[in-house]
Amino acid sequence: MSGKERTRKIIGIIFLILSVLCIGFAVFYFVQQAKQRAEAERLRQAVYVEKSAPVVETEPQTEEEPEQFIPIDFESLWEINTDVIAWITIPDTEIDYPILYSKTDNSAYLRHDMEGNYQIGGCIFIENYNSDDFSDFNTVVYGHRMDDTTMFAQLQLYRDKEFFDSHPEITIYTPTEILTYRIFAAYQFDDRHIILSYDYDSDVLRQRYIDEVYAVRTIDGNYDETVEVTADSRILTLSTCVKNDPSHRYLVQGVLVD
């Protein structure tokens, strides 16, 4: 066998090995996505609870704020993982998941499910640079953009102005309250760490950040400038990656209104 033939054979073998590895990874990726989708659906069916019929009272009742009905069975979620702090849902999307929070490891749920098993899509989570009660000026929630539209992939729907206008709310259920956020911005941004890159310690600095958000103008960025966002607001930022562009993130931001 000549040197050239030997080289061609080696190159062919290498190409074959790489092809097998690529096919194997693709199969693994899609199996993982299918598994994650099925597990997410089973979890929703298990933890959503229906509101029971009201009890008829025989004595006059004082006028009080009606008790909020929280449709998530957090006790069942905590039996799986006590790091569950909330549940996020956006109407007409597949975004309907628990939110995880590790006090010690910000990468805990990047590639692991609630039970600690490796899962390519990870979980929806908040880093411990934020408080775990959504009380910060800006709370950032992370989720992967999966090719099968699960996790935070459908945040990309907000690139469409019609969808942006017709789906203005994000709901966060915590064990004790319902937080409603009105969406005021959806845009592509760079990959800087939002909590570590900005100082929110004063009204001036918080207002400067708000002004910077509105100054970002991209082709498919959408804003609702009728929504009031001030230095005293509580902002929720949903962050996901951009396909084939690791240097950017897609952000959807809402302000707490209720």
Whether the CB-CB separation of 194 and 140 falls below 8 Å is answered with yes
Least confident of 50-54, 154-158, 171-175: 50-54
Looking at the predicted structure, is the pLDDT value of residue 257 above 80? yes
30 pLDDT band, cuts 50/70/90, is very low
Provide the mean pLDDT of the chain: 86
**The pairing of beta strand 169-173 with beta strand 138-142:** unpaired
In sequence order, the β-bridge partners of residue 173 are 87, 178
Which of 160, 228, 221 lies closest to 189, judged by CA? 221
**Cβ atoms < 10 Å from Cβ of 29:** 15
Looking at the predicted structure, is the pLDDT value of residue 184 above 70? yes
CATH of 74-256, one of 1.10.260.40, 2.60.40.10, 2.40.260.10, 1.10.15.40: 2.40.260.10
19 pLDDT band, cuts 50/70/90, is very low
**The pairing of beta strand 178-190 with beta strand 169-173:** antiparallel
Per DSSP, 114 falls in state T
Instruction: Determine the Cα angle at 205 with ends 203 and 209, to 5°.
Output: 115
Q: Which helix (H) or strand (E) holds 236?
A: strand 235-242
Least confident of 35-44, 54-63, 230-239: 54-63
pLDDT confidence of residue 150: 92
C-alpha dist (Å) from residue 54 to 67, 68, 69, 230, 235? 11, 13, 11, 39, 34
Domain-wise residue ranges, the chain: 74-256
Please identify which residue in the block is written with the tokens 């929806």: 124
Please state the length of the chain.
Answer: 258
Amino acid occupying residue 101? Y
* In 102-151, beta strands by DSSP E: 124-126, 138-142
